[in-house]
Amino acid sequence: MKTGILTKPEIQELFSSMITKNGEESRIFVPATIEGRVILEEFSPEREIFYDFANFLRPPKGIFFPQREVLCSFEQERAVEVPPAAGRIIIFGIRPCDARSFLFLDKIFSAGSSGFADPYYLGRRENSVIISLSCIEPSEGCFCTSLGGGPGDESGSDIVAFDLGDRLLFEAHSAKGENFIEENTTEFRQPDAADQNAKKESLQAAFNAISRISTDGLVEKLDDDFSDSFWEEITATCLGCGVCTYLCPTCHCFDITDEKDRDGTGTRVRTWDSCQYPLFTMHASGHNPRAEKKQRMRQRIMHKFSYTPRTTGDVFCVGCGRCVRKCPVNLDIREVIRKINGE
Partner 1 sequence: MIEVQNQMRILASDLIRQKRVDFIIGYEQGTLAHTSRPCIIDVRTSGPEVSEKLVWNSYCSNNLSVYLQKFFAPPVQGRKKDAAPPLRIGLIVKGCDLRSVLNLIREKQVPRENLILIGLPCTGMLDKKKMEINKDELDIEKNIQDSCLECRFSNVKGVDFEITGKTREVPGDLYEVVRLFEARTRKDRLAYFEKEISRCIRCNACRQACPSCYCRECFADQKDMKWLGSGTMSDTMIYHLIRIFHQAGRCAECDACFRACPEEIDLRTFTRKLAKDVEELFGFVTDFNRESIPPLSTFSSGDSDSFITEPEEGG
Partner 2 sequence: MDGNSMWEPKIVAFLCNWCSYAGADLAGVSRIQYGPNIRIIRVPCSGRINPLYILKAFQNGADGVLVSGCHPGDCHYISGNLVARRKFTLLKNFLVYTGLEPERIQFSWVSASEGQRFAALMDKVIADVRKTGPMENQIKEPRLAYD
Query: Euclidean distance between the first and final Cα of the chain, in Å?
Result: 41
Among 45, 237, 265, 339, binds partner 1 (CB under 8 A): 237
Name which of 145, 139, 129, 202 is nearest 169 in CA terms: 202
Q: Which does 334 bind (CB under 5 to 8 A by kind): partner 2, partner 1, none?
A: partner 1
Nearer Cβ to partner 2 (64/305):
64
Determine contact, residues 60/35, Cβ cutoff 8 Å: no
Q: Is 156 helix (H, G, I), strand (E, B) or coil?
A: coil
Stretch that binds partner 1, among 103-111, 117-125, 143-151, 331-339 (CB under 8 A): 331-339
Stretch that binds partner 1, among 146-154, 200-208, 238-246, 300-308 (CB under 8 A): 238-246
- 48-87 binders of partner 2 (CB under 8 A): 58, 60, 62-63, 66-69
Query: C-alpha angle with apex 304: 298 to 307, nearest 5 degrees?
Result: 85
Number of neighbouring beta carbons within 10 Å of residue 36: 5
Name the residue type at position 22: N
Q: In whole angstroms, how close is the CB of 68 to partner 2 at the nearest point?
A: 7
Q: In the stretch 241-270, what mask flags binding to partner 2 with x, by CB under 8 A?
A: ---------------------x--------
Among 9, 17, 45, 57, binds partner 1 (CB under 8 A): 57
In order of 29, 126, 131, 301, the CA distances from 158 in angstroms are 15, 12, 6, 29
- By CB under 8 A, the count of residues binding partner 1 is 35
Q: Which does 239 bind (CB under 5 to 8 A by kind): partner 2, partner 1, none?
A: partner 1
Sign for the CA dihedral angle at 149, 94, 333, 310 comes to negative
Q: In whole angstroms, how close is the CB of 331 to partner 1 at the nearest point?
A: 8
Name the residue type at position 312: T
- The beta strands (E) that lie in the chain are given as 3-7, 20-21, 24-34, 37-42, 68-75, 78-81, 88-94, 128-133, 159-163, 167-172, 254-260, 265-272
Among 2, 58, 88, 176, binds partner 1 (CB under 8 A): 58
Q: Is 23 exposed, middle or buried (0-12, 13-18, 19+ CB in 10 A)?
A: exposed
Among 39, 71, 198, 282, binds partner 2 (CB under 8 A): 39
Nearer Cβ to partner 1 (161/324):
324
| Interatomic CA distance for residues 20 and 43, integer angstroms | 12
Return residues touching partner 2 (CB under 8 A): 29, 39-42, 58, 60, 62-63, 66-69, 262
Question: Contact positions toward partner 1, by CB under 8 A?
Answer: 37, 57-58, 67-68, 140-141, 236-237, 239-243, 246-247, 255, 257, 259, 269, 271, 274, 277, 279, 282, 324-326, 328-332, 334-335
